[in-house]
Structure 1
Amino acid sequence: MRRLCVLLAALVLALYPLLVWWGVTHQQLLPALLVLSLGFTMRLILASGSTPVPGQGLRAVAGLGLLLCLLVWWHQQTQWLLWYPVLVNGLGFALFFISLWQPMTVVERIARWQEPALPAAAVGYTRRVTQVWCLFFLLNGAVAGWTIWLGDMRYWSLYNGVISYLAMALLMAGEYLVRRRVRARIDDMERSCH
C-alpha cells in the first residue's frame, strides 16, 4: 500500500505543471489546488520514513508546495504556483552545493547505499557529478524563472512540464553511461594492482 501511495504522490507532483496549466486556463483552480495539496501532503507523510538524504529534500519540497498552495488559496493569486519549479531547483542547488563542503556529497551518499566500500577514484567522480547537478539546478531554475517573467502559461507549461523533465532525463542517462565507463576503468585499475 505504501508503494502505491508513493507512486500516486510522485505522479501527482510530476503532473504539477499540467495541473497548474489546467487550473489556470480552465478557471478550475480549486480542484487543481486540492489535487496538488493532496499530493504534497502524501509526499510529506511518506518522506518522514525515508532515509536522511532524500527524505530531507522531499519533505522540504513538499512543504514548499503546500505553502504555495496555501498562499494561492489565501490570496487568490495563481502567480505563486508558477514559482514552485524555481524554488525546487533552488533547493536542489542549495542541497547539492552545500554538500560539496561536507565530508560526503549528496551523490556520494546515494552511491554508498549501493556500494558502501566506494573506491577512492569513485569518490572523486561523485564530487564531479555533484558539481554537474549544481549547474543543472542553477540553469534549470533560471530558465523556469524566465518562463514566469515571459508571462505566458504555454511557455511556462511547455518548459516546466516537458523540456525540463527531458533535460533531467538526458542528464541522468548521460551520467549513467559515463558512470559505466568510469566504473570499468576503476575495475581495470584495481585488477592491474592485484
Structure 2
Amino acid sequence: MTPPDALRPGVNRSVKPMAVLLGAVTVAYPFLVYAGITRLQPQWLALLLGSLALVRALVARTVFWSAAAAGAVLLAALSAVGNALLPLKLYPVLVNAVFLIVFAVSLSHPPSAIERLARLAEPDLPASGVAYTRRVTQVWCGFFVFNGAVALWSALWASNEVWALYNGLVSYLLMGLLFAGEWLVRRRVRARAEAGVTHG
C-alpha cells in the first residue's frame, strides 16, 4: 500500500522500475535479514537497512518515506553502534507507526487518506463516498495498530524464523485480505446506492 502523497501527479516515469525494485526489496527485507543473520554481522545488515531507506526516500520524494527513512537510519545507527540485531527487527514496527500517523492525522485534517486515493479515480466524490472513505481510513488505522503490535511482539519475543515469517509474509496476506474485503464491501455499498437512486 502506498501513502496518499506518493500518488500525486508529477512523479518522473523513469524512476518507476527503480521504485518497483525498491518495493520488492522492502517486501523481502525480513527474509534478507533472516538470511544474513548466520552470514553477516548486524553492522553490515544495518548498512543494508540505512541504504535501502535513503534510496527509497530519494526515489519516492514523499513526506512518508522521508519520515520512514529518518527512523530507519536511526535504527541502523543503533544496530551498527551496538552490533545488535534487535533495531533491525524493529523496522516493520516503524513502518506501521508512520502509516498509522499519516492515516490518523488525515482523519483530524480532512480529506482522509483513503478519500485522497478515491478522488484520484473519482474527483467528484459524493458526500456518502466521503463518509465511507473516512470509515475505511479508520479501519486501516486499526489494522496498523494490530499489525504494528504483532510486529513488535515478534521482534521482542518470537524467534527469528517467526519474525521473518510474520513480517515478510503473514502481514502482507492480512493486508491483501483487508484490501479484498474492502473491495467487496465497496461494491455492495455502491450497488445499494445505485439501486436507491434508480428507485428514487
- Verify the 8 A CA contact 2:42 2:79 in the aligned structure 1: no
2:34 is the counterpart of 1:27: no
* Pick aligned residue for 1:59 from 44, 53, 66: 66
Distance apart, 1:3 and its partner CA:
1.1
Please, which moves more after superposition, 173-182 or 23-32? 23-32
Is contact 2:41–2:83 with CA below 8 Å preserved after alignment? no
Cα deviation, residue 44, structure 1:
0.6
Alignment match, 1:42? 55
Once the two structures are superposed, what CA deviation does each residue of 1:99-141 show, in whole Å capped at 9, x if it has no partner?
2222211111111111110011111110110111011000111
Q: Secondary structure at the match of 1:162?
A: helix
1:86-97 to structure 2, matched below 5 A, reads: 86-97=93-104
Q: 1:104 — aligned with what?
A: 111
Q: Please tell me the residue identity of whatever aligns with 1:76.
A: N
Residues of 2 paired with 1:12 and 1:64: CA distance? 18
Q: Is the 8 A contact 1:13 1:36 kept in 2?
A: no
Question: Could you tell me which of 129, 135, 144 is aligned with 2:151?
Answer: 144
Comparing 26-35 and 163-172, the one that deviates more: 26-35
Hey, what's the Cα distance between the residues in 1 that align with 2:63 and 2:193?
32
Alignment TM-score, normalising by the size of structure 1: 0.87
Q: Measure how far apart 1:151 and its partner are.
A: 4.4
Partners of 1:149 and 1:33 lie apart in 2 by 18
Matches within 5 A, 1:1-194: 1-27=14-40, 29=42, 32-48=45-61, 55-193=62-200
1:65 CA drift (Å): 2.2
Structure 2 stretches of 5 or more lacking a match? 1-13
With 57-66 and 39-48 compared, the bigger mean Cα shift is at 57-66
Instruction: Quote the sequence identity (%).
Output: 43
Task: Give yes or no for contact 2:43–2:81 (8 Å, CA) kept in 1.
Answer: no
Kindly indicate whether the alpha-carbon contact (under 8 Å) linking 2:97 and 2:148 is maintained by their aligned counterparts in 1. yes
Number of residue equivalences: 187
- Structure 1 166/117 Cα, relative in aligned 2: closer, same or farther at 3 Å? same
Structure 1 residues 65-107: Cα deviation after superposition (integer angstroms, max 9, x where no partner): 2332233223311210111111111121122122222221111
Q: Which runs of 5+ in 1 are unaligned?
A: 49-54
Q: Which moved more, 1:114-123 or 1:142-151?
A: 142-151
- Measured in 2, the distance between the counterparts of 1:149 and 1:35 equals 21
Output the CA distance in 1 between the equivalents of 2:99 and 2:180: 19
Q: Secondary structure at the match of 1:19?
A: helix
SS at match of 1:117: coil
Counterpart amino acid of 1:37? G
TM-score (norm 2): 0.84
Name the stretch that deviates more: 27-36 or 92-101.
27-36
Contact 2:42 2:84 in 1 (8 A): no
Higher relative contact order structure (alpha carbons within 8 Å, sequence separation ≥ 6): 2
Q: Is the 8 A contact 2:115 2:133 kept in 1?
A: yes
